[in-house]
Amino acid sequence: MTHIIRPSEIAILFGIPTSEEGYLRATEENRTDFVRGFVLPKYKQEVTQPFKRTAEMMKTDGAIITQDVTKEYLVSTVASGRFSVVVFMSHWHDQMIDFGDGAAHFADVAQALHIKHTVLDLCICGPVELVSNFRRLAPSSGLIRYSRTDALPSLWMYFYAAVIRLLKTNRLTYIQAFEEVSSRFLKRTPTTEL
């Protein structure tokens, strides 16, 4: 977490549907919560179109993008040690986290996760309680990143695309890149001399 990160060391995993087909399937199966708040045109505007646009950039830069991830896939990716940073974009509601194959209880996820020398970036709406339970249930040497507000998928997809593009062209740690992109979004004085 304190070393220079290359885009190929980053995995971006999507627990929410990122395609029209995924949306329609999730709506039909009714096993996850995130899609319930959207009609398809809105979902396309806020999720699938930004995904299409940014996933192309992130893949081009060397990051690994995986859609419709299951709990098992998240756990094995974090445990594999292959990635220095695992970004998990999903939704959590009423103690359940959305995955590609349905929702899972956060305690099951936390107990299965072994975050060793990895940054787990939780891009999930207001996961404060989730994080505190992760810390209680899965103490480890990893680093968890989260924020306290509801995450807008479209903006965060662009955010990670910018982080990855920045890491591709500069030798930075993940935290440096994260702060740099945050600062630029907020039009604050850049934190890093690029």
Partner 1 sequence: MKQAITTSIILGAIYCAPNPAQANSPFDCEKLLTKERTNTSETPEATEGLPQAATSTRDRGAGNRIGRLNKSSDRVLFAELRVAAVDGSVSYQLWSGGDTPLHTTTSISDLLEHIEARAKALNKTASHLDTSSLTPAQNDGLAAAMRIREQRRQRLTRIIARSHPAIDSPLFERGITFQFSDIRRADGSFKVEARLGTKSGEFRVTVSAKARAVLERFIAAVRKLLGQPRSQTMTFIDIINEARDITGADEKDLQMLLDGQFGHSEFVVNIIPLSVVKRPLG
Residues that bind partner 1 (CB under 8 A): 50, 53-54, 56-57, 60, 119, 131, 134-135, 139-149, 151-152, 154-156, 158-159, 161-163, 165-166, 169-170, 175, 178-179, 181-188, 194
Query: Of 89 and 103, which CB lies nearer to partner 1 in the complex structure?
Result: 89
DSSP β-bridge partners for residue 66:
13
Given a contact cutoff of 8 angstroms between Cβ atoms, the answer to whether 107 and 32 are in contact is no
Name the minimum Å distance from CB 35 to partner 1.
21
Query: Of 103 and 151, which CB lies nearer to partner 1 in the complex structure?
Result: 151
Greatest C-alpha distance within the chain:
49
Name the minimum Å distance from CB 27 to partner 1.
24
Given a contact cutoff of 8 angstroms between Cβ atoms, the answer to whether 74 and 138 are in contact is no
Query: Of 29 and 190, which CB lies nearer to partner 1 in the complex structure?
Result: 190
Name the minimum Å distance from CB 17 to partner 1.
19
- The SS3 of residue 186 is coil
Name the minimum Å distance from CB 28 to partner 1.
28
- The string of DSSP codes covering 164-177 is HHHHHHS---HHHH
Residue 173 and residue 192: Cα distance in Å, rounded? 11
Query: Of 69 and 115, which CB lies nearer to partner 1 in the complex structure?
Result: 115
Residue 54 and residue 30: Cα distance in Å, rounded? 27
Name the minimum Å distance from CB 25 to partner 1.
26
Query: Of 43 and 134, which CB lies nearer to partner 1 in the complex structure?
Result: 134
The DSSP symbol for 35 reads: G
Name the minimum Å distance from CB 182 to partner 1.
5
Residue 173 and residue 99: Cα distance in Å, rounded? 29
Please identify which residue in the block is written with the tokens 């740099």: 180
Query: Of 103 and 124, which CB lies nearer to partner 1 in the complex structure?
Result: 124
Return the axis-axis angle of helices 153-169 and 174-185, rounded to nearest 10°: 120
